[in-house]
Structure 1
């Protein structure tokens, strides 16, 4: 009889816990008779249009920028990469807030410069904001695919008389379709899960309407809408899984040397994106900070965000260890790991709806910090699992075997060999969970204890009250914390690029 690895029981328990919110939503939704109505059709249409337009815009911007940052030999290439990936360092609801306040009659641009500008709202405004803050997903995943390609096919095509632009379109991009699809699926999931941008832009999508139903005590209808949103999320994941990956041996990658006018044209393309996504929001926050100062902001809000996020990061890493090692141990463990990834695909507004009901059934949990931390853990556990697993898979198994031969028990070998060597992945996973929890808005609004204000929720309160100037401090602090997450991700991307380069020279 084959014995299960010791990590399996804990991993199975954690996987079952990850399924609880979906089970709760199904039970709640069964209490409502309104499966689908005319208003739902409008909400569905808005949600799908926003997703499709954002994916299209992100591909339109992200793929050319991936080609530029991967192949074009420009001065300060690393700086270009950082600048172009910088929108990831800003939650989209901050971008929506500042663009909504900057444009239109009575906006900051009109007040300061006297220049009339159109309003940014509705489907067009939400699409603009979501595209500006999600195109780096496509850019980074496509860039990773491009850097793994061998230039020999391009050289052969050029020898046969094909132009460089035709080579990029017909030879290079078809081989990077996996990276484009992966980035597009991330954009689609990010768009579907975002609450702040549609709410600020006054666009009725699933996330906004779910929150309205929750505030009107319509938990059953909110659950039904949440399940409909989850069906769309599942469809996106299914379509992404159908894209076949192309495996080829890495080789020397393509290098393009542009002329002066080509460099200038690329700069002119990049400038409007950077100005709208990064410079304008920071300038708006700067104007508000000079005008109103701290404006009633209490630094206890920053401590609340930090404390709740630290608890979530700590417990997420503790739970990630058995799940990651179960995934390495066998096929059953890999299925358990995939179940835990469900939480990352569940939008925060949906997770909040399910856990609000659980809190109502368990009064000792309702409106407590513990319930909020549980929501963070269920949402962002996959980030910790992925980091721990990637580190653990890179460990040399001979070290554990040597410890066992020298008389160490399995527990001693784990504590003295595996755990210390996995520490880097655990720290990286904890950092990612911490930063994502700091940014989480809808789940915090729904589950935060009474009077427990965080940076994200305070920003939302001042938006609702119309005191825009008071958003400067929490907005800048959130941008700073998100920038740390971007630095962590780009450092990993640079290490991966270095590893690819090293393999080519062996």
Structure 2
């Protein structure tokens, strides 16, 4: 009922009020800066230099490496994610409730932390093949979670029809089940693809050269040089289609049911003789994605000789992490709020812009965002360079879509007609929103703040480039210590990051399963 009211109550005939237009202007400007930076630097370099840089052998090598890594990790993550989702949602595998949680827990180990753990085992993992395996083990939950949700929500009637036509289990899966899960599979896979285009920390530790590592090297060697900008332009051309495709698929996700009434669960497939091999494969996946990184962290914590080298930096890194993540989350949520309001309460150009523009740069690496902000701050606002404010601006560009999603879910449940009643009683547009809608969406605001705080505590690239001098975080300390080969010194920072991430991932997964069981 409330959903229907919220939908029908949207004020479609009224344009956005002035306060909303002004509030949405700042995040819109920030989002446009990386695109303007790439265009401006490419233009200033000149056509001849741009053509020479884009078509030189080094660029071709980086392009091959980037595409090979991104496509391979995406395909492997999709295969693992779909297979795992089917095992835990459609089979009679023993201990399903535990496997559902364990399969999602690799999200608690940041990719650069897992890469540091594997890299510390030896140079054998510091190769393209090693990077593909390690990153797929870290990112497959991004496919597993939406596909598992799709399998739980879809009606098994299509499979029954397919089986009644004489198709076997595999044929029925590919002809009836997988097509229903395709939007979830496609959205999850494209999300992995955008992560791979943006990945820096893990690849730097694994010594694999892609555009992100090359851009960082170019920036260090030629401060804000044209080479970094032109490489960013090529990376942008790769990342934007993936980000836009992921946005479209995620928006169109629907889990079909063929009939009315309560949802009928599909009977679990009997594994029979395959039960032991499948159970072994699940155990091997858990051992590789969780056991190996955590075991190496424990090893370096217990026996590493260089652990005392950075122990005195642990508390400053914790303070730096909280000092950036908490206020950064408040800034990101505040900037995302007018965009979420515009997308849910109004139609027109502002609504379309608010809904789509953040996703345009969703797949843009933090390196490119950081370079853009450095470029414009030095030329127009020199006092802002190497301040927390500039870093918060980078956080906003990178995490606005995440904050918008959390806020929009609450706004859509708050009927817009209540604001109209408040307006009819003499309140202005902002007063009506503050008095009626804001109290109802505060839980969503709290959820957005918690989610963004967790993500900012793990963010590496933009923080590495833009953090004020003398400020370090857990993520930057892991990278700097491990990049210099001091694995034991990096272990305490990495262990704290995993501990911070594990609790919310576990609680979220268990809560999702409990809510699903109540439906």
Per the TM superposition, whether the score is higher than 0.5 is yes
| Higher RCO (CA-CA < 8 Å; seq separation 6+) | 2
Cα pair distance change 1:488/1:433, threshold 3 Å: farther
**Aligned counterparts of 1:372 and 1:232: Cα–Cα separation in 2:** 25
Where does 1:343-358 land on structure 2 (aligned, <5 Å)?
A: 343-358=361-376
1:25 deviates by 2.2
Q: Does 1:308 align with 2:314?
A: no
Q: 2:33 aligns with which of 3, 11, 20?
A: 20
Q: Deviations over 1:17-69 (max 9, x none)?
A: 21012202221233331233110000000000001111111111111111122
In the other structure, the counterpart of 1:331 is 348
Q: Does 1:424 align with 2:443?
A: yes
**Aligned counterparts of 1:240 and 1:18: Cα–Cα separation in 2:** 18
Q: Deviations over 1:377-398 (max 9, x none)?
A: 2211221111111110012345
Cα pair distance change 1:9/1:301, threshold 3 Å: same
In the other structure, the counterpart of 1:110 is none
**Aligned counterparts of 1:390 and 1:67: Cα–Cα separation in 2:** 28
Q: 1:375 aligns with which of 390, 394, 401?
A: 394
1:80 deviates by 1.0
Q: Does 1:121 align with 2:126?
A: yes
**Aligned counterparts of 1:138 and 1:283: Cα–Cα separation in 2:** 25
Q: 2:338 aligns with which of 306, 316, 322?
A: 322
**Aligned counterparts of 1:246 and 1:79: Cα–Cα separation in 2:** 27
In the other structure, the counterpart of 1:274 is 286
Any conservation in 1 of the 2:15–2:347 contact (CA below 8 Å)? no
**Aligned counterparts of 2:371 and 2:514: Cα–Cα separation in 1:** 39
1:208 deviates by 0.5
Gaps of 5+ in 1: 105-118
In the other structure, the counterpart of 1:172 is 177
Q: Residue 274 of structure 2 aligns to a residue in which SS?
A: helix
Q: 2:257 aligns with which of 225, 249, 254?
A: 249
1:485 deviates by 4.3
Q: Residue 176 of structure 1 aligns to a residue in which SS?
A: helix
Moved more, 246-255 or 212-221: 246-255
Cα pair distance change 1:487/1:413, threshold 3 Å: farther
1:127 deviates by 0.4
Q: Residue 341 of structure 1 aligns to a residue in which SS?
A: helix
Q: Does 1:230 align with 2:236?
A: yes
Q: Deviations over 1:325-371 (max 9, x none)?
A: 10112132132231123343211111111122223223211112221
Q: Does 1:446 align with 2:459?
A: no
Where does 1:68-467 land on structure 2 (aligned, <5 Å)?
A: 68-104=87-123, 119-218=124-223, 219-240=225-246, 248-249=256-257, 251-259=263-271, 261-292=273-304, 295-297=309-311, 298=313, 299-328=315-344, 329-332=346-349, 333-361=351-379, 362-404=381-423, 408-467=427-486
Q: Deviations over 1:97-154 (max 9, x none)?
A: 11111245xxxxxxxxxxxxxx112210110111111111111121222222111122
**Aligned counterparts of 1:246 and 1:458: Cα–Cα separation in 2:** 42
**Aligned counterparts of 2:294 and 2:14: Cα–Cα separation in 1:** 59
Any conservation in 2 of the 1:285–1:471 contact (CA below 8 Å)? no
Moved more, 229-238 or 249-258: 249-258
1:489 deviates by 4.5
Any conservation in 2 of the 1:343–1:381 contact (CA below 8 Å)? no
Any conservation in 2 of the 1:316–1:381 contact (CA below 8 Å)? yes
**Aligned counterparts of 1:413 and 1:495: Cα–Cα separation in 2:** 36
1:248 deviates by 3.0
In the other structure, the counterpart of 2:74 is 55
1:274 deviates by 1.3
1:240 deviates by 4.8
Q: Deviations over 1:267-294 (max 9, x none)?
A: 1111222112111111111111112455
**Aligned counterparts of 1:492 and 1:405: Cα–Cα separation in 2:** 40
In the other structure, the counterpart of 2:493 is 474
How many residue pairs match? The answer is 486
Q: Residue 395 of structure 1 aligns to a residue in which SS?
A: coil
**Aligned counterparts of 2:98 and 2:424: Cα–Cα separation in 1:** 50
Q: Residue 54 of structure 2 aligns to a residue in which SS?
A: coil
Cα pair distance change 1:473/1:47, threshold 3 Å: same
In the other structure, the counterpart of 1:111 is none
**Aligned counterparts of 2:363 and 2:243: Cα–Cα separation in 1:** 9
Any conservation in 1 of the 2:93–2:271 contact (CA below 8 Å)? no
Cα pair distance change 1:239/1:324, threshold 3 Å: closer
**Aligned counterparts of 2:509 and 2:516: Cα–Cα separation in 1:** 10
Any conservation in 2 of the 1:294–1:473 contact (CA below 8 Å)? no
Moved more, 202-211 or 30-39: 30-39
1:406 deviates by 5.5
1:449 deviates by 1.7
1:212 deviates by 0.4
Cα pair distance change 1:405/1:428, threshold 3 Å: same
Cα pair distance change 1:261/1:416, threshold 3 Å: farther
**Aligned counterparts of 1:245 and 1:91: Cα–Cα separation in 2:** 27
TM value normalised by structure 2: 0.88
Cα pair distance change 1:248/1:281, threshold 3 Å: closer
The CA RMSD measured in Å over matched residues stands at 2.3
